[in-house]
A and B are shown apart, each in its own frame.
Chain A
Amino acid sequence: MLKLIASRLLQMVLIMGVVSALLFFIFDSDKFKKQIAVAELGGFAVSALSDQDYQNWLERKGLNVPFYERYAKWVGGILTGDLGKSYQTNEPVATLVADRLKKTGILGFWVFALMIPLSLTFGIIAGMKEGSAQDRITSFISIVTTSLPEIATAVILMSIFALWLRWLPANSAMVGGWNWLALVLPVMTLVLYDFGYVARMTRASMAEVMTSQYIRTAILKGLPYKRVILRHALRNALIAPFTIIVLQMNWLLSGVVVVEFFFQYAGFGKLLLDAALFGDIYVIQAATLVAVFVAVLSQIISDVGYSFLNPRIRFS
């Protein structure tokens, strides 16, 4: 087990090294340097700049050295906790990313807190009896909700709850301070999209377990149906959903970009998008590495957790 974790962690470090070097290389192009200059000084000022002035500007920003030198300096900085400064706001990247991650963390927490019980309950009820009315209804609901992309769900929910019923704010920028009500629509959008997928996977897993020999034996033995489900079936049926739920962390990092941009919620996804549009290299670097880190970590947790929960894998 330890060997597995160690090799996966090593692979993660390798992947993050490759990714960060690649990003430095990509964002080293003249086009991106110009983009930063235009964003900071304005398009007209840049076009009026003489070659010498432009070189001076690059030097002041520390952009005139080759990318591998900047990369080496950046890697050295990481070890001391310094991630560089944002070109856009001049804030240290570490505090900026930490602040935004906290906001997205709150969003993600509520998404998982609602999505997991909801989708597991529906999935289990549907999978208990394959082909029954409850199975068909759950399957239909989940296929419809997964077919609505986040952007469509956001539009529909906003129209109903914010525009027509006026129960919730349509904008989650929270300029006037923290507002729990403004969190409801982004959370609902993400839950609704993800619910269907996890519920379908739980249903498939549950349905498979229900057809197995040991469940038939338990039922024929005369055990109460409730006991068969709760004590015998669920143990095995929940192994597969566990890995899927952990892997949803990866998906959530994609989902938050759209939802945070649509509702103007100042979280991690919006930070990444804004930084990418601005060409804010150090922020993109930090945000991408955090995203990759979370994604790979969730893959490791799901792998290790799976082999831990499933003895057939562990001992083979």
Chain B
Amino acid sequence: MAAITSIPVSPPPLSILKILQQPRSLIVLVLLMWLPLMLNVMLAGSISETVRPYLLLPAIPSALILYGVGVLSWRESPIAIIGLTLIFFWLIVAVSVPFLPLVDPNKPIAPFAPIGAVKNNHYFILGADFKGRDMLARTLWGCQRVLVWGVTATLVAYLVGCIFGLVAGYLGGWWDQVISFIANVLLSFPVMVLFILIMNYLGASGFNIVIAVTFASAPAIMRIVRGLTFDTKNRDYIFAAQTRGEHPLRIMIYELLPNARGPIIVDACLRLGYTTVAITTLTFLGLGLQPPDPDWGLMIKEAANVAKSPQFAYMLLIPALSVSSLILGFNLIADGLREMSLRD
């Protein structure tokens, strides 16, 4: 890939879409969107008040451009486009929510105001929760934490899983024995049991969710990468690289990993969905993200005791449907990608 794009002979004129589709510009756009969002959620307390309002500004156009590029490059798969639309709806909401005309999501206004009510000079489009906080503001703000922690946790789990998978698959022998045994021990736990034990031991916080998800997901990722490495390591280009005298580390990262990327990307999309489920569930069980900042799992947890009556069911249904739409988005993208890879 890199060899093709860096040929020095005069390149044909590129359309804007082609330029944006290049890995380099995609990476820049993703970073422009992701870094401000991540800083905004993870280091919320330590950013000075003068910078904070402008932090997310560059992320909004980047998210919109990325969505456009995604739709144009996946034209052949309507399923993937529906999934992409769902994900980017929440991503765009996440980066633009400070600029939307919403009230403070933590401010109590009118407890138990139903959907569409006007109380205390405020129009409740989606009603208010039991403390009187605006449900619309809480739902829209709630997507930030799930997205940031979910994607971060999945990325870290992938990093760890890929490293161990490559080492176990490529080096084999003792490395493989030891790594596989540790993975087997971790895989013999039901996922939720492992989550409960780790979160209980470490304490409830976003960073600890990343650790727990890594422990729970990395063994499965390691197995997939190990299997893919076993398949590819006897190919001629690997022998060629070995004969050239390349370092094993270089072979793993530059030769093996890029050739195993197809199944890994599909699995990553599914795993993003699982991680979103895990974070919401952990928060619901009281082991994940902590109040008062809005989060979907937290909204369900807080409303579960008071909203068990027909007219207040919206307090539970709105966050439940929001989180489902996000997970549906990840699953549809995975499905669409798999379909597209089968077609090629």
Contact = CB atoms under 8 A, between A and B. Distances in A.
Interface of A: 11-12, 15, 18-19, 23, 26, 143-144, 146-152, 155-156, 158-159, 162-164, 170-171, 250-251, 253-255, 257-258, 261-262, 269, 272-273, 276-277, 279, 284, 287-288, 291-292, 294-296, 299
Contacts of A261: 284-285
Main secondary structure of the interface of B (DSSP, over half): helix
A152 B320 CA distance: 5
A15 B331 contact: no
Contact of B320 (A23, A151, A255): A151
Contact of A276 (B197, B304, B323): B197
Interface size class of B (residues with CB under 8 A): 35 or more
Interface in B317-342: 317, 320-321, 323-324, 327-328, 331-332, 335
Interface of B: 184-185, 188-193, 196-197, 200-201, 273, 276-277, 280-281, 284-286, 297, 300, 304, 308-310, 313, 316-317, 320-321, 323-324, 327-328, 331-332, 335
19 contacts: A15-B185, A148-B324, A149-B281, A149-B323, A151-B320, A152-B321, A158-B308, A162-B308, A163-B308, A164-B310, A251-B191, A254-B191, A254-B193, A276-B196, A276-B197, A288-B193, A291-B193, A292-B188, A295-B189
Given A147-B331, A151-B284, 4 more contacts: A23-B197, A149-B323, A253-B190, A287-B193
B281 A151 contact: yes
Given A151-B320, A152-B320, A254-B190, A143 B328 contact: yes
A170 B113 CA distance: 23
Contacts of A19: 185, 188-189
A294 B188 CA distance: 9
A147 B193 contact: no
Contacts of B184: 11, 15
A295 B323 CA distance: 28
A147 B273 contact: yes
Contacts of B332: 143
Contacts of B320: 151-152, 155-156
A250 B190 contact: yes
B268 to A, nearest CB: 16
Nearest to B79: A143
Contacts of A163: 308-310, 313
A258 B284 contact: yes
Q: Is the interface of A mostly helix, strand, loop or mixed?
A: helix
Contact of A291 (B189, B309, B323): B189
A152 B284 contact: no
B327 A149 contact: yes
Contact of B285 (A155, A164, A273, A296): A273
A155 B317 contact: yes
Contacts of A295: 188-190
B201 A26 contact: yes
Contacts of A158: 308, 316
A197 B197 CA distance: 26
A273 B304 CA distance: 17
A78 B321 CA distance: 46
Nearest to A299: B188
A271 B184 CA distance: 25
Given A15-B184, A15-B185, A254-B190, A277 B286 contact: yes
A251 B190 contact: yes
B284 A147 contact: no
B190 A146 contact: no
Contacts of A292: 188-189, 193
Contacts of A155: 300, 316-317, 320
Nearest to B200: A276
- Of A23, A150, A151, A299, chain B has the most CB atoms within 10 Å of the CB of A151
Q: Interface centre among A26, A255, A257, A287, by most B CB within 10 Å?
A: A257
Most chain B CB atoms below 10 A, which of A12, A15, A147, A170: A147
B197 A284 contact: yes
A254 B185 contact: no
A211 to B, nearest CB: 13
